[in-house]
Amino acid sequence: MSAFGQLWKRAPLWRLSLLVGIAGLGLAAFFPTPFLKAQCPWLPGSAESLEKTGPADSAAAVPQARFTYPDLRESLQGSVPLGAFILPLPEGTWHPLLAAQTPPPASFSYLAFVRLTGPVGTGGKVTGLLVVQVSPTPLPPAIADTMMAACHDDRNYMTQLRELPHETQCTFLSPTLLGQQTVSFNPLITETIARLHTLDMPLPPLMVMSGWRLFRPQTAEDGARASSASLPPAQVTSVDLLLAPTKPGTTRLLAPLQGWDRQEIGHVAAARSYVTAQKNWTGQWVARLNQGFHIPALEPSPTPRDPAFHGP
């Protein structure tokens, strides 16, 4: 009997490991990750659909998110139509970075835009990321409630809630660390950051997020099942704008990284001054968002220059 035959007969653990390894290679070939498929396009499997699961801060366990990548060279200014809405863009030139769609029950439309210090392909630094999520149909209560979780995060610099007759609005300002392995459990933001790294677009270690949530619960008149649960289904729109608190033309923060913590910012003048400026600006930004989402026939008025924009 050959040495292989003797090993096969006398080493059951090795035999099991070999079989599992072969099965794993087969699964990897027929169900490759996007990175593996890009490196080995001859593999038989498809990587068109990315499955994102796990606890989420904006979209709980979003299954089968299908991402597409627009032409980054397209330039956008002023505003962008989003179906029945109009999304006002902060000052500067924005580029479409990513779009995505998910199926029911967590049905979302995703869009992400990036702003750079220079034209695409010239090594410009990222000064802003704009991420938009719209649910065209009411979401299950658990998912809708999870999308509002950022409004109750005690790490926020500030949070404002507005209870209106048919909707709730939430505005918050929070630090977002980009240097850690998991930036966000939101698959859109995670994929957005991953694409920026793939495109070699330099990011600062931290950005300050101006977040806005529009929560519209389904009433009894909207559907017979609206009152069958303690929390009704709801449509949720989220707009997350991440701005870079950096020195012009660089990825260097205006203050040391630890100085941006909510507990420390009161002792760091540069960080405190920047956050105060973005907080004041966010109020004007939200006013433009309300125009675009509540009066779609009216073009939102121009948004004042945000504190992270260093253009002419």
Report pLDDT for 3: 67
Per-residue pLDDT band at 246 (split at 50, 70, 90): very high
- Higher-pLDDT residue of 289 and 59 is 289
Report pLDDT for 122: 85
For the cut 90, the answer to whether the pLDDT of residue 251 exceeds it is yes
150-156: long-range contacts, CB 8 A cutoff, minimum separation 24 = 150/57, 150/58, 150/174, 150/211, 150/213, 151/211, 151/213, 155/262, 156/262
What is the pLDDT averaged over residues 290-309? 83
Per-residue pLDDT band at 45 (split at 50, 70, 90): very low
Of 41-45, 54-58, 126-130, where does the model show the most confidence?
Answer: 126-130
Q: Name residue 145's amino acid.
A: D
For the cut 90, the answer to whether the pLDDT of residue 283 exceeds it is yes
Per-residue pLDDT band at 76 (split at 50, 70, 90): very high
Q: Are strands 158-164 and 206-217 parallel, antiparallel or unpaired?
A: unpaired
Report pLDDT for 57: 38
Q: Name residue 270's amino acid.
A: A
